[in-house]
Amino acid sequence: MVGVAGGPQPPLPPPDGRDTGALPCAALDSAIGSVMDHVMDHVMDHAMDGVMDGFDETPGPSCLPQRVPLPAGAPRGVPTSEQLAHTQRLGEIGWSQWDLTTGETCWSDHMYKIFGRDAAQGPIRLHDLPTLAEPADRQALDGLVSRVVRGAVPGQAEFRIRGDDGVRSLRAVLEPAASGVHGVIQDVTARREAERAVAESQRQLLEVRERAEEERHVTLALRDAILPQPGASISLPYARISVRYVPAEKSASLGGDWYEAAPLPDGRMFLAIGDVSGHGLPAIAEMAQLRHALVGLTMTTASPDLLLAWLNALVLNRLDDTTATVVCGYFDPPTRLFTWAQAGHLAPILVRHGTAEQLTPPHGVVLGAISGQPYGVAEIRLEPGDLLLMFTDGLIERRSRDISEGLALTLKAAGAIARHGDCLDAGLDGLIEEIGGPNPEDDTCLLAVSVLEDSRPPIPR
């Protein structure tokens, strides 16, 4: 079914004297088939992109367009009325023919749906088409009509109309015909809304990435200002201390790992390594408070277990919703005695004569978990050539493997550090690479103490 409107069109005589015989409206379906050959190659490239986006990739009755059978005796290759109507619904496409001689206008059924127009009102004449567009789009549509009618060249334009359901975007493709103009109108509102949604999502994503990168720079700068040199080495008469701090590869995963290696006034060396829960700036800020508090408490020369008890009280009373793990201790050069305690942290690894073993940890709960729990103390006397490794969980943990597997790989790699000779820095770099390289989701901190041969200061008499 098509809509027909009579009445004279504005005087638009063809400039080249071509035949202007009227094409009967009853022949609109045949005309549409002709237009499809010339126009729809372009239109359907765009229309079906939007249509097919709505279908599932897996064939099935719910995702594939229904096949419209040919009527008995219908010639192959000629679209039927049912097929044309089906195509219009799928592609949100309407068809029109404007006869510039007789003033007759023919619309397909879907044209009325696109323009939100009652079929009883009849179709719109060609010269009235631009009046339906939004004011900002009328000039472009009027120019298209003029070029097609006066210049006899096909063209297209996009314009917006306002209806009861709001503003919609349409694309018009017009082509001159023997007696007038053939037109195809497509509703591209859904496509434009999707494009705007994608553009807005891309803009928001870019903003999030920029904020994340800015936060990463601030976090790294703050961490570098708080911690000593992450790759620093300290050479002492009785030991060599080396540190490796490898930030998480993902910017959002920068955490609160920290370490400390500081000589005390009484000649002992205080060693500590820890990890604050969480990531980003909050974790870095809390890490700074814990590290500075612990360093200050060492000035009391209190035992490691008492230091952790005080630190636990600080977390419980001053750092809400925060937990942290720590292992810390004193290394006494004259006796080579390492006295240590831990709060829910992985025990250090001792490498002796090429064999690596994890020390047995004394009792100790995570900082910030519970109050009133005592912390135990352990001692071990180091020997010349020993290597003590203190580390955070980022060294051994990976999503792709069990923590016990990561610990086994670390013990094996630690036992091979001796092959690097006296170059402790190279040995630590090799250890990190052998167990899988930098952790993409967590910081890695490694503190190594190599006890030197025959360098022990004499024990005071």
Please give the backbone phi and psi of residue 262, each rounded to the nearest 5 degrees, phi first.
Answer: -140, 135
Spatial contact of 225 and 281, defined as CB atoms under 8 Å apart: no
pLDDT at 234: 78
What is the residue range of 421's domain? 227-451
- Residue listed under structure tokens 């022990």: 456
pLDDT at 236: 83
Instruction: Judge whether 209 lies within some domain.
Output: no
Any idea what the CATH number is for the domain that residue 85 is in? 3.30.450.20
Structure tokens at 379: 């001692």
pLDDT at 419: 76
pLDDT at 224: 66
Any idea what the CATH number is for the domain that residue 381 is in? 3.60.40.10
pLDDT at 78: 57
On whether both 10 and 86 belong to a single domain, the answer is yes
Instruction: Judge whether 199 lies within some domain.
Output: no
Domain boundary among 137, 171, 187: 187
On whether both 447 and 337 belong to a single domain, the answer is yes
Spatial contact of 410 and 394, defined as CB atoms under 8 Å apart: no
How many helices (H) and strands (E) the chain has is answered by: 10, 17
pLDDT at 321: 87
Question: What helix, strand, coil percent values describe the chain, rounded to 5?
Answer: 40, 25, 35
Instruction: Judge whether 396 lies within some domain.
Output: yes
Instruction: Judge whether 150 lies within some domain.
Output: yes
On whether both 287 and 345 belong to a single domain, the answer is yes
On whether both 232 and 337 belong to a single domain, the answer is yes
Instruction: Judge whether 217 lies within some domain.
Output: no
Number of domains in the chain: 2
On whether both 140 and 67 belong to a single domain, the answer is yes
pLDDT at 106: 92
On whether both 414 and 265 belong to a single domain, the answer is yes
pLDDT at 53: 41
Instruction: Judge whether 203 lies within some domain.
Output: no
Structure tokens at 13: 């005589």
pLDDT at 75: 54
Q: Give the C-alpha separation, 52 to 56, whole Å.
A: 8
Spatial contact of 159 and 170, defined as CB atoms under 8 Å apart: yes
Q: Give the C-alpha separation, 406 to 281, whole Å.
A: 28
What are the mean pLDDT values of the chain's consecutive 10-residue runs (461 residues total)?
46 39 42 43 41 37 38 57 74 89 90 90 92 94 92 90 90 90 93 93 92 76 63 79 81 74 92 89 85 93 96 92 95 95 97 95 96 95 96 90 92 87 85 87 90 62 41
On whether both 143 and 48 belong to a single domain, the answer is yes
Dihedral, CA of residue 152, residue 156, residue 160 and residue 164, to nearest 10: 80
On whether both 263 and 408 belong to a single domain, the answer is yes
- Residues paired with 243 in a beta bridge: 447
